[in-house]
Amino acid sequence: MIIEPKTRGFICLTAHPTGCEQNVLNQIEYVKQRPIKNGPKKVLVIGASTGFGLASRITAAYGSNAASIGAFFEKPPSEGRPASPGWYNSAAFETQAHKDGLYAKSINGDAFSNEIKKQTIDLIKADLGDIDLLVYSLASPVRTHPETGERFKSVLKPIGQTFTDNTVDFHTGEVKEISIAPGTEDDIKNTVAVMGGEDWQMWIDALKSAGVLSEDFKTVAYSYIGPSLTEAVYRKGTIGRAKDHLEATAFKITDALKDINGQAYVSVNKALVTQASSAIPVIPLYISLLYKVMKEEGVHEGCIEQIERLFNARLYAENLELDDAGRIRIDDWEMRDDIQAKVLELWKQATTETLPNIGDLKGYETDFYNLFGFKVDGVDYDKDVNEMVDIPGLQ
Ligand code: NAD
Ligand code: NA
């Protein structure tokens, strides 16, 4: 079939297999040039199909010859209906990994559930024995609690007072003011239940009691801080409370892993266009200005550049360069004073009229379409493509 993008607000309902494949191959090429000394060998990535998790899987596999199991929640294709992009990404990754002699298998389902944890542990036991790295890169709007069955929904709201500022609709380029009413105590609780650290801890507990964590095991989860501009709606909002909880969980996990000399880390990553971040108000305007400044300064990175640097210059380097709160910072270039001063200056000038010049709306838009395999360089979109793609290592 011929597959075209079909967008509805922050999402795209279609995905292109060839474009997704090309994105994955480009990431593989990038990492192959940058091998990791003493890197991971047996890796589980939760949230492995898109964004930072996919980049983590590719970095471990192609930077360090790691065997990888990817867990994710993606929609398979049906006749005439393309799969979700993470499906095609995983198909492309595992096809290439198998060609290159790398172990790569995957599990598609709700990682919050006990069933998926059990299935994953059985697979580790059968094929790998144990793992030395778990990357926790899940981003989800909902979670069903495995013990109580309660269904939680996360929300992106400020706490305490209404937040009002500009945002951009990147489809139309229109800059307009939005107001978001503050979240309730329940909103906070629900968001922490979905995006906080409880499920990460549950994974570790399950893996540890099954005896499938190696000596010197490491685990890393991803967080975000960002500038004062987005603070009220992000870091000091409901999602920020979840990130506080995730960060605190890292210390609890490290304590629980003492006997195997294990370590849990949180890495604070850069703001990037992913399916998760496109849905956050104000962030698209911030990202379009940030991209412009970081590209001009020659320090722009995408997911693969971020994660390759995380592995090579922090996680598997001599010095992790932890901040005062014990976190890894690969948002260091985003947060540079000169970069932030320029973004703040541009923020004050941003209107529908000025943004095409002062911001990188084009870059934002291209990255958004690229997430779904569209507008990827070198792909012929007029060519008939088979939507019924299998993931070769899918269990
Ligand atoms: P993403 O949407 O690209 O990836 C989410 C992944 O989670 C996908 O693999 C998806 O299949 C999987 N997933 C979702 N629900 C699932 C479920 N129930 N069971 C199993 N898998 C499920 O998101 P991302 O932007 O790469 O985010 C990953 C992490 O990085 C998040 O913690 C996010 O907060 C953090 N982070 C993102 C940014 C950013 O700007 N995008 C910046 C810093 C940190
Ligand atoms: Na991810």
Q: ipTM for the complex? A: 0.98
Question: Ligand 1 pocket: which of 11, 24, 138 to mutate (most atoms <8 Å of CB)?
Answer: 138
Predicted local confidence at residue 21, as pLDDT: 98
The dihedrals phi and psi of 135, each to the nearest 5 degrees, come to: -100, 125
Predicted local confidence at residue 388, as pLDDT: 98
Closest by CA to 12, choosing from 275, 207, 222, 257, is: 275
Distance 273 CA to ligand 2 centre (A): 12
Locate 381 and state its tokens: 């979109």
Predicted local confidence at residue 4, as pLDDT: 97
Going by DSSP bridges, is the β-strand pair 213-223/131-136 parallel, antiparallel, or unpaired?
Answer: parallel
CA distance 67 to 127: 10
Residues forming the active site: 234
Closest by CA to 193, choosing from 223, 155, 152, is: 152
Predicted local confidence at residue 171, as pLDDT: 85
pTM over 0.80: yes
Locate 164 and state its tokens: 């009002």
Predicted local confidence at residue 278, as pLDDT: 81
Give the closest ligand to the alpha carbon of residue 53: 2
Locate 75 and state its tokens: 């929609």
Question: Ligand 1 pocket: which of 49, 52, 106 to mutate (most atoms <8 Å of CB)?
Answer: 52
CA distance 58 to 70: 10
Any ligand 1 atom below 6 A from CB of 110: yes
Identify the segments of the chain with pLDDT beneath 50: none
> For residue 181, with 0-12 CB atoms within 10 Å meaning exposed, 13-18 middle and 19 or more buried, which class applies?
exposed
Q: What is the DSSP letter of 83?
A: P
Predicted local confidence at residue 275, as pLDDT: 80
Distance 275 CA to ligand 2 centre (A): 9
Residues near 33 by Cβ (< 8 Å), separated by ≥ 6? none
What's the chain's Rg over C-alpha atoms?
Answer: 20
* Element holding 168 (H helix, E strand): strand 163-169
Predicted local confidence at residue 247, as pLDDT: 98
